[in-house]
Structure 1
Amino acid sequence: MTEPVMMGTAATRLWAGARALARAAAAVRGGAPSRVPPLLFFTDPRRTPRPWEIVARMPAGSGVVYRSFGANDARDTADRLRTVTAERGMALLIGMDSALAEAVGADGLHLPERALSAAYALSGRRPDWILTAAVHSVEAALAARDLDAVVLSPVFPAGGASSARTALGVQALADVAANRPVIALGGITADTVADLVRTGATGVAAVSSIAEAFAV
């Protein structure tokens, strides 16, 4: 494992807030830790074109979800991310593409909401994999099965693909957390992570705010 890097104020606050949420959620579950990292960096081809540079500055115990969206260089990027995450003691999840996850030796898979039904077969075939899935409503979150955690978004007003969606709010997050492990995504920043205290969320995820906080 490589030596830890110095983190700026925003990065430190994000990481501290994420770990505090994970500890609180584990205490409710009787101390059992989640397999899902408390801080997940979601990649985006447009907003994070060189994601391995961000990941190289993230702390051990965090994770990255690589979403290739059919990019021609997906295997090369995934290999770079696998190398960095292995060196840093981080988890690597691949978005949707189980063949790519297998090929690079990823730690798990992240499913879009439309593929929630695939979780049952995946959990049986690869019980060692961390499985997460995107959900965009309380109803979808509560209906999801065979996952380590759902990723609920957008909790706060967000950019990117979630910019057209109405923010679900902290109470929706708490409603889901009362029933299953949930990661908060959408509008998560070093400032808003403090608003998630006592929701029961097991952690947070972000694209731009993590990229900016851990920028090279």
Structure 2
Amino acid sequence: MARRYNVRVAQDQTPRPLPELWLLSDARNDAVLDEVLAQLPEQSGFIFRHYHLDPAQRRTRFQQLQEIARKRRHLVVVSGSPVLALKWGADGVYGPAEAMPHGGDLLKLATAHNAKEIVSADRTGADAILLSPVFSTASHPGAKPLGPVRFRLLARKAKAPVIALGGMNRDTAKRLGWPRWAAIDGLS
């Protein structure tokens, strides 16, 4: 059963299930993000990263994409500090477990690549864990992917729901048979 949580989504304070589909932003997919966000199924998730922009440009781009995402009732999470997420009006924060806030109303999405990082994410109270890379990916060229078997073994160790990331697209998600997944290029 999906974990339920309260997040600030515009004026809607109704508890919502954790989205199954997540789009991550990157310099590689920026040119198509407006269109892709508008076409994602309603109430999907969007993780804004855009590390390539300077702070002022990053905030402007976040606001543009957040407006599109809100029209489709997507959850909007920002990579950065909890203070930044609150200041920008995001629903949550994304990053390594050690950067996760304790308590508060922000949705906490922790990154993990191994068992130690999964345990750390669970200890910090992460609402979900993005476990990667499942398959080979342009984001981490040369990194050894977990593969379906190792991914499932690691995911079983997690207390929080796990979102598959790395080389994910509709075909690999079907092959993996995992309900929650995220992509950069695979949705763009």
Q: TM-score range by the shorter chain?
A: 0.7 to 0.9
Residue in 2 that maps onto 1:177? 155
Q: Which residue identity lines up with residue 171 of structure 2 in the other structure? A: D
Q: CA deviation at 1:202?
A: 4.7
Residue of structure 2 equivalent to 1:89? 73
Q: How far apart, in 2, do the equivalents of 1:100 and 1:61 lie? A: 23
Cα separation, 2, equivalents of 1:48 and 1:176: 31
Distance in 2 separating the partners of 1:168 and 1:117 = 22
Q: Could you tell me whether the CA contact under 8 Å between 1:170 and 1:196 is conserved in 2?
A: yes
Contact (CA 8 Å) 2:118, 2:157: kept in 1 or not? no
TM-score (norm 1): 0.72
**CA distance in structure 2 between the aligned counterparts of 1:100 and 1:90, rounded to whole angstroms:** 19
Unaligned runs of 5+ in 1: 1-25, 212-216
Shift of 1:33: 5.1
Which secondary structure does the structure 2 equivalent of 1:89 belong to?
coil
Residue 159 of structure 1: aligned partner: 138
1:40 touches 1:64 (CA, 8 Å); kept in 2? yes
- Quick one: distance in 2 between partners of 1:202 and 1:131? 19
Moved more, 138-147 or 187-196: 138-147
Distance 2:135 2:34 in 1: 26
Higher relative contact order (CA 8 A, sep 6+): 1
* Equivalent residue for 2:40, pick from 58, 61, 64: 58
Q: Offset of 1:53 from its aligned partner?
A: 2.8
Runs of 4+ more than 4 Å apart:
31-35
Give yes or no for contact 1:123–1:129 (8 Å, CA) kept in 2. no
State how far apart, in whole Å, the 2-side matches of 1:75 and 1:32 are. Answer: 30
- Give the whole-Å Cα distance in 2 for the aligned partners of 1:101 and 1:50: 23
What amino acid is the match of 2:168?
A: I
Quick check: 2:82–2:106 contact (8 Å CA) kept in 1?
no
Q: For residue 49 of structure 1, report the CA deviation from its aligned partner.
A: 3.7
Amino acid at match of 2:138: G
Q: Deviations over 1:33-67 (max 9, x none)?
A: 57432111011023324523321111112111000
Aligned partner of residue 123 in structure 1, secondary structure: coil
Amino acid at match of 2:51: F
Q: Describe the shift of the 1:98–1:50 C-alpha distance in structure 2 as closer, same or farther (beyond 3 A).
A: farther
| Percent sequence identity over aligned pairs | 28
- CA offset digits 1:88-128 (Å, max 9, x no partner): 111000012434322221110101x3xx2232xx132x2x2
Q: Which residue number in structure 2 is paired with residue 12 of structure 1?
A: none
Q: Sort the Cα spacing of 1:101 and 1:118 in 2 relative to 1 into closer, same or farther, 3 A.
A: same
In the alignment, does 2:60 pair up with 1:76?
yes
Secondary structure of 1:191's match? Answer: helix
Normalising to structure 2: TM-score of the pair? Answer: 0.81
Segments of structure 2 that go 5 or more residues without pairing to the other structure are 6-16
| Partner in structure 2 of residue 100 of structure 1 | 84
Higher strand share: 2
Q: Distance in 2 between matches of 1:149 and 1:61?
A: 16
- Say whether residues 1:140 and 2:117 are aligned partners: yes
CA RMSD of aligned residues (A): 2.0
Distance 2:72 2:94 in 1: 20
